[in-house]
Structures are given as C-alpha cells and as structure tokens.
Copies of this chain bind each other. A is one copy, B any other.
C-alpha cells in the first residue's frame, strides 16, 4: 500500500475493504511521506519492519526483487491526486497490478499515459469508484441495460455534502486540506472529488456517451481556490439529458449521492445513504421497492452481496466488492483461467480516463461564455 498513514481516511477504508473477504493480505507498505508515520502505521498493522518502506520507489523496487509468492501481488495507491501517477507507472513498470483511488491522475495527460501503460503491460488497474460497487447500482445497470425503462430521456444525479462549508485549516482536517489545494487536488475541487462519482454513476448504469455540457462551478467559501460546488447540464448521444449537481457546501448534508433515471417506460431511483433499496417507477403500476439480496435480483446484484435481506450492507462492503472482484480476476489469471464476467466488474483505466475527461471539460465549460462545450477528446 502506498499512502494511508495516520490521519488518512481512505487508506483505512481500502484496508478494511481488502480484509473483509479474506482474499487479500497486506504484506508491505509505505504509508506516509514521513517514515515515522509510515513505520508506526506498518507496525500497528502487524507488518515486519522489513516490509515497511520509506518511499514508494523503494517499496516497489525492493518488492520486485523478492521471490514470487513472497512479494506483493499488487499495490494499492491511496495518496492525494498529485501522487497517483508516478507510483502507478512505476508499479506497472515493475510488473505489479495496481488498485488506485480516484480521480485517476492529476491531469488528463497523465491519465492518457497511464491508460497506455496499462494497455501495454496487460496488467490490471482497478479504480475505486466505490459507488458502482453497491449491489443495487448493479441492479440498476442490469435493468436499464435490458431496456426496462425504455429509451432514456432524463437523468438527475446529485451529490450534496456539507463538510467543506467553512474554511478548515489542514491542521484541523487533513482530508479537507489537500482537497482544496490545487497543487495536490488538480484543476477541480468538488468536481474532481465527487462530481466524477456522479459522472461515473451515469456511465456505469446507462452506458450513454456524453457529447457536450454546460457548467457553472462556484467557490462559495471565501479564499477557496478550487470549486466547492457546481451544476452541470450534460447532453448525451441519443438525446438523453442530465443534470449533475454536486456541492461540498450544502450544510447538513453528509454524503447524499443519488441518481434518478427516467426513460420512456419507467424510472428508477437510488440513494447512497440508503443503498440497499432501489425504486422502480411506472405511471400505470404501483412503484416497486427492490431490496438487496432477494431472489428476484440479477446475478450481478447477487454476486456482490454477502448477507440475507434486511442485514444492511454499506459503504465498506461496496468498496470491498471492487477489491473482491479485482482479487477474483487476479486469482483467475494467476490460475491461468478466464475470469468470470462478474469478476471483471470493477472500474478500470477507461473509467479513470472518463473521469479526467469530465474534470477537464467541466472546468473549461465553467470558464467559457459558450453555452455548450464539447467533451474533450476521448
């Protein structure tokens, strides 16, 4: 693991998600730019000192020299955005598969290079777009893809959070610190951090191709250098239209991602904070409440569920679904077998590239006087 030392949020989540199913074991790490933090973290995680490294470069190089079966099988990179590209390229270069937090890179250019590297090496890269790991999101995809809603017309995706409504110094909140800093976060704040999840959710469920968009990004908190809020209208190939609204200054909201999709024949609604429910809507019939773990669900939803209905599965389980599918794919490949289709169901380099495409386009569109700005090349 690269990153995830004391004070990190997402590093701990990666570890719990990787642990959950007993398929993955943490064997080494460079958890912080501070070796003290890294060593303390590693020891707390029961790693021997020999597998706790001072730099990711050292880790990747030394692990590559260990005998097969002993060295790590893949590396999880859970650092801020500006520190995604280099360790990922290095790991791939040394033959390691990669799990990478989103957004994929600091710039679109890096994303292109990384994607090429993945293609060239044939190694796996999983991107932790957590929300597509929920079973009911997979069910939504299944229903939309098989045409249950008819042709898609209207999409509302929104992601209000409130935690950045005030100016928080880095010492108070390490998470807030790097996210509002253009040097570590990239050209977008809110749109990079959570807008990409919204865009990815539409993409995952519908498969529609975005053509162009109209965007207004805002920095509501005085002195903030990056957007902390934004609204985007997106036009898709085939005529579907989306409103994407994301905010980190929506006081009192926690992590209230939701998506509603309406086609010619039906609608659906999913809310992340109550993730085990998927609503199906029609005009001429009662609404249906689909719930995780029932026999009437698709194979994809079932494969990504661990407990019977009414035993709520949450964020960590969704995250773990990415890790588990990644691990199952890896195990299949190591065993020389073709991975099952449901194993391959995790976000990868293409998804990362699309996220970077959104960031580039939305920032350009927000600055533009033109109403519609075409998606940057993909």
Contacts and interface: CB of A to CB of B under 8 A. Distances in A.
A interface, over-half SS: loop
B314 A313 contact: yes
A372 to B, nearest CB: 8
A327 to B, nearest CB: 12
Interface stretch (A87-95, A96-104, A114-122, A243-251): A243-251
A294 to B, nearest CB: 7
A153 B15 contact: no
Nearest to A280: B286
A286 B295 contact: no
A: contact size bracket: 35 or more
Interface string A341-378: 00000000000000000000000000011110000000
Report the copy number of this chain in the oligomer.
4
27 contacts: A16-B21, A16-B22, A19-B20, A19-B22, A153-B220, A154-B229, A154-B247, A160-B260, A162-B281, A163-B283, A214-B371, A250-B262, A252-B280, A252-B282, A254-B308, A254-B311, A272-B310, A272-B312, A273-B310, A273-B312, A284-B295, A284-B296, A287-B291, A289-B289, A307-B316, A314-B314, A368-B371
Given A12-B306, A284-B296, 11 more contacts: A149-B251, A154-B250, A233-B233, A250-B262, A251-B263, A252-B282, A255-B309, A255-B310, A286-B291, A289-B289, A369-B370
